Amino acid sequence: MPENYDNGTEVEVRDLNLWYGENHALHDISIDIPKNSVTALIGPSGCGKSTFLRCLNRMNDLVKNCRIEGKVHIDKQNIYSKDVDVVDLRKRVGMVFQKPNPFPMSIHDNIAYGPRIHGTGKKNIRGVVEEALRSGALWDEVSERLDKSALDLSGGQQQRLCIARTLAVRPEVILFDEPCSALDPISTSKIEELILELKKKYTIVIVTHNMQQAARISDYTGFFLTGELVEFDKTEQIFESPREKATEDYITGRFG
Amino acid sequence: MFSNAKLNEKIAFTLLKIATGMVVAFVMVILYYIISNGYSVINLEFITSMPRNRMTEGGIFPAIMGTAYLIVGSMAVALPLGILSAIYLNEYAQSGRTTWAIEMAISNLAGTPSVVFGLFGLALFVKYLGFGPSLISASLTLALLILPVIIRASQEALLTVPKEYREASLALGVTKWETIRRVVLPAAIPGMITGAILSIGRVAGETAPILLTGAAYFLPRMPDSIYSQFMALPYHLYVLATSGTNIAQTRPLQYGTALVLLIIVLCVNIVAVSIRSHYRNKIKR
């Protein structure tokens, strides 16, 4: 595992175990996720990579009978300690889902939703919305129709809207859960460009099924298999000379 | 030559058509019968004046207003109570024995005969709480009667809100309550209104519960407070048709009353449906 990152460590996970009822889904995961970089998590379906991602903003809290042990430090704070406010944590750790999930509201209201609830006043909201949409690379396409329903946008635009909606809350970390799996290649490449742009300001963790995508956009890659983190290293290292046989078998397409 | 499958399809299709046709036919016959017998007595005087001459002449204004008060009164109680309980049961209650017991109670309540609600209202509101036979007793009794319908419809409506909306909102660092208030409820409201539509029809039409809790046989004036007795359309109709002073002579008045009752329910439904489609459009486009 790489020891020291140029930009420092954002997320530090130690001996994380997770059970869904009796099912032991994650085994002793330890990983350091670097600041202002893109970290990709790859692995076959059911390997636990999405489950792991959902530990980082405690979305697994919503799952019944889910039990978690171990430590997850984000910015030096253990997010599973008792005094942590989950709502506040999720402001700092945003999430973009597999299927674009805009609210059934106007484009403007989708972006304004988070900031409004978190206390941004009427006067400033317009500016926040524009800034978020610009950062989400969507402003030029929607600036003329902010009051139209977000559901009329194309799938790729909806996903960028969801990214902008997350940005509007000003998180430090953004988790992407297979954000392009429902999108066409052109929309996918737009999102990939956007992610590369976003890593200048944010720490990005992306779960992906698409190995080319991991190779294209990530600085570090972790390979998950049956609930274990098999290997985690610089992306070139993983794709050019993986240490583990299982990693090599997976990236060369022998299974998955 | 038909194959067996095709023949079966044709038979099934025909049966379904006949069944649907019969339902429509019954509704049409009832409507035709009431309209053709009732329309001649309906005029401005009929709907705006008091009954006169031992209810053999004049209008049904107090009964119309009584029914309107009942709708407003029972809805004002049952709608918020029902929606809030549905939110609690669906969004907050842990599934366990208590929740199971509550769900069972609601199901049983929905199947309880309305006369039992009437007796309960008589015992609790009229006697024990001392409201007497009055608008408030009857409204509260009707509210209890429709509560299960509203709770069930609201629960169904909440279930149809996609999980993705909730996740998206929670992931933005929004609390559960704000998520429910700003995302889940707006998406669920059209379905909740459907539940309310069904129950307005029941409030306007139920006779047994109000008979026991405050409807007056004859009262040629408006209720002056929520503690007054009142006239209501279904009970007025029952009185005219069974125990009036001159049943044969008031036959047209009976049909007229029935027609007014139908029209009120229809109007309320139209209003409710348009509210619903307004919300749907607002959400969709």
Tens of pLDDT along chain B (285 residues) come to: 557 888 899 999 999 999 999 999 999 999 999 999 888 888 887 888 777 766 667 778 889 999 999 999 999 999 999 999 999 999 998 888 899 999 999 999 989 999 999 999 999 999 999 998 999 999 999 999 999 999 999 999 999 999 999 999 999 999 999 999 999 999 898 888 877 887 888 899 899 999 999 888 777 777 888 888 888 899 988 888 887 667 777 888 889 999 999 998 888 888 878 877 877 776 554
> Maximum Cα–Cα distance for chain A, whole Å?
57
Dist. CA A18–CA A22, nearest whole Å: 10
Q: B192 and B118 in one domain?
A: yes
- Closest partner residue to A87 (CB to CB) among B162, B175, B285 is B175
- Please compute the mean of the pLDDT values over residues A71-98 and round it to a whole number: 92
Determine whether the interchain pair B171/A57 forms a contact, defined as Cβ–Cβ distance below 8 Å: yes
- Interface mutation vs chain A, best among B91, B167, B170, B179, most A CBs within 10 Å: B170
Third-level CATH fold of A9-102+172-251: Rossmann fold (3.40.50)
- Cβ burial of B176 (10 Å; 0-12, 13-18, 19+) is middle
Q: B20 and B151 in one domain?
A: no
Q: Give the predicted TM-score (pTM) of the model.
A: 0.81
Partner B contacted by A97 (CB < 8 A): yes
Q: B51 and B36 in one domain?
A: no
Partner B contacted by A74 (CB < 8 A): no
pLDDT of residue B283: 58
**How many Å lie between the alpha carbon of B95 and the closest alpha carbon of chain A?**
11
Determine whether the interchain pair B174/A117 forms a contact, defined as Cβ–Cβ distance below 8 Å: yes
Chain B residues with CB inside 8 Å of A173's CB? none
Dist. CA A125–CA A7, nearest whole Å: 32
pLDDT of residue B270: 85
pLDDT of residue B158: 94
In chain B, beta strands by DSSP E: 51-52, 57-58
Cβ–Cβ pairs < 8 A, chains A and B = 67
Residue type, B22: M
**Domain spans, chain A:** 9-102+172-251
Partner B contacted by A63 (CB < 8 A): no
Q: What percentage of chain A exceeds 90 in pLDDT?
A: 82
Residue type, B166: R
Determine whether the interchain pair B172/A94 forms a contact, defined as Cβ–Cβ distance below 8 Å: yes
Chain B residues with CB inside 8 Å of A169's CB? 172-173
Determine whether the interchain pair B172/A101 forms a contact, defined as Cβ–Cβ distance below 8 Å: no
Q: B187 and B75 in one domain?
A: yes
Residue A186 has pLDDT above 80, yes or no: yes
Determine whether the interchain pair A92/B173 forms a contact, defined as Cβ–Cβ distance below 8 Å: yes
Please check whether residue B276 is in contact with residue B193, taking contact to mean a CB–CB distance below 8 angstroms. yes
Pairing of strands A23-34, A9-20: antiparallel
pLDDT of residue B285: 44
Chain A residues with CB inside 8 Å of B173's CB? 87-92, 114, 118, 169
Residue A176 has pLDDT above 60, yes or no: yes
Question: Where is B66: in which H helix or E strand?
Answer: helix B61-87
**Domains contained in chain B, number:** 2
List the single residue in B with minimal CA-CA distance to A111.
B172
| Mean per-residue pLDDT of chain A | 92
Two tokens, residue A252: 């060369």
- Closest partner residue to B284 (CB to CB) among A62, A90, A149 is A149
- Interface mutation vs chain A, best among B174, B179, B185, most A CBs within 10 Å: B174
Q: B208 and B85 in one domain?
A: yes
pLDDT of residue A25: 93
Q: B30 and B89 in one domain?
A: no
Q: B118 and B34 in one domain?
A: no
Determine whether the interchain pair A166/B172 forms a contact, defined as Cβ–Cβ distance below 8 Å: yes
Q: B154 and B73 in one domain?
A: yes
Domain of residue B215, CATH code: 1.10.3720.10
Determine whether the interchain pair A104/B187 forms a contact, defined as Cβ–Cβ distance below 8 Å: yes
Chain A residues with CB inside 8 Å of B182's CB? 113, 117
pLDDT of residue B282: 63
List the single residue in B with minimal CA-CA distance to A88.
B173
**How many Å lie between the alpha carbon of B78 and the closest alpha carbon of chain A?**
28
Q: What is the dihedral of CA B126, B129, B130, B134, to 10 degrees?
A: -40
- Closest partner residue to B173 (CB to CB) among A62, A87, A149 is A87
- Closest partner residue to A94 (CB to CB) among B167, B171, B283 is B171
- B273 φ/ψ angles, rounded to the nearest 5 degrees: -65, -40
In chain A, beta strands by DSSP E: 9-20, 23-34, 38-42, 66-74, 77-78, 93-96, 173-177, 203-207, 220-225, 228-234
- Please compute the mean of the pLDDT values over residues A155-164 and round it to a whole number: 95
- Please compute the mean of the pLDDT values over residues A6-33 and round it to a whole number: 92
List the single residue in A with minimal CA-CA distance to B94.
A64
Dist. CA A169–CA A103, nearest whole Å: 16
**How many Å lie between the alpha carbon of B175 and the closest alpha carbon of chain A?**
6
Residue B33, domain extent: 4-41
Residue type, B89: L
Chain A residues with CB inside 8 Å of B178's CB? 117
pLDDT of residue B278: 79
Q: What's chain B's Rg over C-alpha atoms?
A: 23
List the single residue in B with minimal CA-CA distance to A118.
B174
- Closest partner residue to B173 (CB to CB) among A90, A104, A151 is A90
Determine whether the interchain pair B172/A114 forms a contact, defined as Cβ–Cβ distance below 8 Å: yes
- Please compute the mean of the pLDDT values over residues A118-129 and round it to a whole number: 90
Partner B contacted by A94 (CB < 8 A): yes
List the single residue in A with minimal CA-CA distance to B175.
A87
Q: Buried (b) or exposed (e) across A85-112, using 16+ Cβ within 10 A? A: ebbebbbbbbbbbbebbbbbbbbbbbbb
- Closest partner residue to B164 (CB to CB) among A88, A90, A101 is A101
**How many Å lie between the alpha carbon of B176 and the closest alpha carbon of chain A?**
9
